[in-house]
Amino acid sequence: MSGPLDGILVADFSRVLAGPLCTMNLADLGATVVKVERPGSGDDTRSWGPPWSANGTTYFESVNRSKRSVALDLAVPDDLALARELARRADVVVENFKPGTLDRLGLGYDRLSEDNPGIVYCSVTGFGGGAGAGLLGYDFVVQAVGGLMSITGEPDGEPTKAGVALVDVLTGKDATIGVLAALADRARTGRGCRVEVNLLSSLLGSLVNQAQGYLETGRPPGRMGNRHPSIAPYETLRCRDGLLAVACGNDGQFARLAATLGEPGLAADDRFATNAARVAHREELVRALEGRLAHDDSATWQERLTAAGVPAGRVGTVAHGFALAERLGLDPTVAPADGGTPMPRHPVSYSTPLVGPAQAPPALGADDRAVRDWLSAPKPGPLPPAGSG
């Protein structure tokens, strides 16, 4: 089955997470992605374990399915020439080298666009290509300096990072959007363009209401644990056996919550009748709610509240998340067609099939011979299938 990006060749000069996530998204949609890696070691994440997998590490495998791998040493003239030829033939180049590095190697946008004016060239950096070009962009550091850690964690605890490299993930998704927009514009105008994304901008753009609140008031938000700065109750509440996440987005939901807990009068109490009042009297509200929730366990309350139309759920693990998606028929995983461990599937569903069968992430240099021969051919045909040497 061909996808919407069938026939699009992506030269992937990126590594770690944000760039590889972008190129994996493109591969899911049918693009041919050739991942250029360092001989001997490859992508940094090939050594980032545990957990380990049969082909290396689960970290590498999480963002590198359905790609071809070629090992090229850009310090070796012959290999650099092959890399330039790959970029010259490509529709899309994705890279996350330190700004200026690929320009010095003749692999920058200005040089490549001379020979290939339709190229879409996506650069992923930590802090942009200007004054921040010399700063090293690692997700954890950007979470710290960009403010995400300052609003994550308990009020009286230390600032805390998210439990996944969230800024890298957001940046990878922004890069995907940018590449797809540029390809759509190229289809309309025939022109390629340079797409630039950076971790700090992606983080700040993702702070949404917290960022806008700061820009409006001049007051940086702080840590509130599991509470929401503008909505109540929108937090974890303690039941007899553990925590229940409750999210009342409007007064009607709160009224149903109060009725289900056997305290319908709470919805008429002046302290709790409106969302603004509930936020102002949050501590009193929590005491009242937890006093009732303590009479039963979280699973029972989840069932009762869900039946009443109140958003609520027990705090679970990643295993619980996958199990729930399975029960709901969301098909959360995909098994590579050529074998291997199931992976989280492409998260978008389409009424018309747009995502082809997944292929297992490649071993380092798995496609060396085929890609090198193809790049050396004066009149190349189609690139051979993945895994052909």
Question: 366 and 47 in contact (C-beta within 8 Å)?
Answer: no
pLDDT, tens only, 195-242: 999 999 999 999 999 999 999 999 999 999 999 999 999 999 999 999
pLDDT, tens only, 265-298: 999 999 999 999 999 999 999 999 999 999 999 9
Is 249 within the bounds of a domain? yes
Question: 175 and 122 in contact (C-beta within 8 Å)?
Answer: yes
Are residues 172 and 65 located together in one domain of the fold? Answer: yes
Is 148 within the bounds of a domain? yes
Q: How far apart are CA 179 and CA 33, in angstroms?
A: 14
Residue 16 has what pLDDT?
Answer: 97
Are residues 27 and 153 located together in one domain of the fold? Answer: yes
For 371-386, give the secondary structure using H, E and C.
Answer: HHHHHHCCCCCCCCCC
* Nearest to 126, CA basis, from 203, 176, 198: 198
- 247: CATH: 3.30.1540.10
Task: Read off the pLDDT band of 95 (50, 70, 90).
Answer: very high
Residue 382 has what pLDDT?
Answer: 81
* Nearest to 74, CA basis, from 101, 45, 112: 101
For residue 113, the surrounding DSSP H or E stretch is: helix 109-115
Task: Read off the pLDDT band of 384 (50, 70, 90).
Answer: confident
Domain encompassing residue 277: 234-314
Residue 126 has what pLDDT?
Answer: 97
Q: How many helices (H) and strands (E) does the chain have?
A: 15, 13
Domain total in the chain? 2
Cα first-last separation, the chain:
23
Are residues 142 and 274 located together in one domain of the fold? Answer: no
pLDDT, tens only, 138-174: 999 999 999 999 999 999 999 999 999 999 999 999 9
Are residues 283 and 160 located together in one domain of the fold? Answer: no
Q: How far apart are CA 253 and CA 257, in angstroms?
A: 6
Q: How far apart are CA 218 and CA 215, in angstroms?
A: 6
381 vs 202, higher pLDDT: 202
Is 305 within the bounds of a domain? yes
Are residues 305 and 341 located together in one domain of the fold? Answer: no
Is 301 within the bounds of a domain? yes
Residue 218 has what pLDDT?
Answer: 98
Residue 2 has what pLDDT?
Answer: 78
Inter-helix orientation angle 199-206/166-189, to 10°: 100
Are residues 37 and 110 located together in one domain of the fold? Answer: yes
Task: Read off the pLDDT band of 380 (50, 70, 90).
Answer: confident
176, with CB counted inside 10 A (0-12, 13-18, 19+), is: buried
The whole-number average pLDDT for the span 316-340 is 95
- The fraction of the chain above a pLDDT of 70, given in percent, is 99
pLDDT, tens only, 346-369: 999 999 999 989 999 999 999 999
Are residues 252 and 200 located together in one domain of the fold? Answer: no
Are residues 48 and 116 located together in one domain of the fold? Answer: yes
Of 12, 28, 43, 168, the active-site residue reads 168
Mean pLDDT of the chain, nearest integer: 96
Strands (E), the chain: 9-13, 32-37, 52-53, 56-57, 68-71, 92-95, 120-125, 193-198, 234-238, 243-247, 312-314, 333-334, 343-344
Q: How far apart are CA 159 and CA 223, in angstroms?
A: 8
Residue 26 has what pLDDT?
Answer: 98
* Nearest to 30, CA basis, from 66, 63, 6, 55: 6
The yes-or-no answer on residue 296 being catalytic is no
Is 286 within the bounds of a domain? yes
pTM of the model: 0.94
* Nearest to 292, CA basis, from 237, 346, 372, 365: 237
The whole-number average pLDDT for the span 251-271 is 98
Residue 352 has what pLDDT?
Answer: 92
Look up residue 115 and give its amino acid.
D
Q: How far is CA 64 from the centre of its chain?
A: 13
Are residues 127 and 259 located together in one domain of the fold? Answer: no
Residue 1 has what pLDDT?
Answer: 61
- 183: CATH: 3.40.50.10540
pLDDT, tens only, 35-71: 999 999 999 999 999 999 977 899 999 999 999 999 9
* Nearest to 343, CA basis, from 88, 63, 155: 63
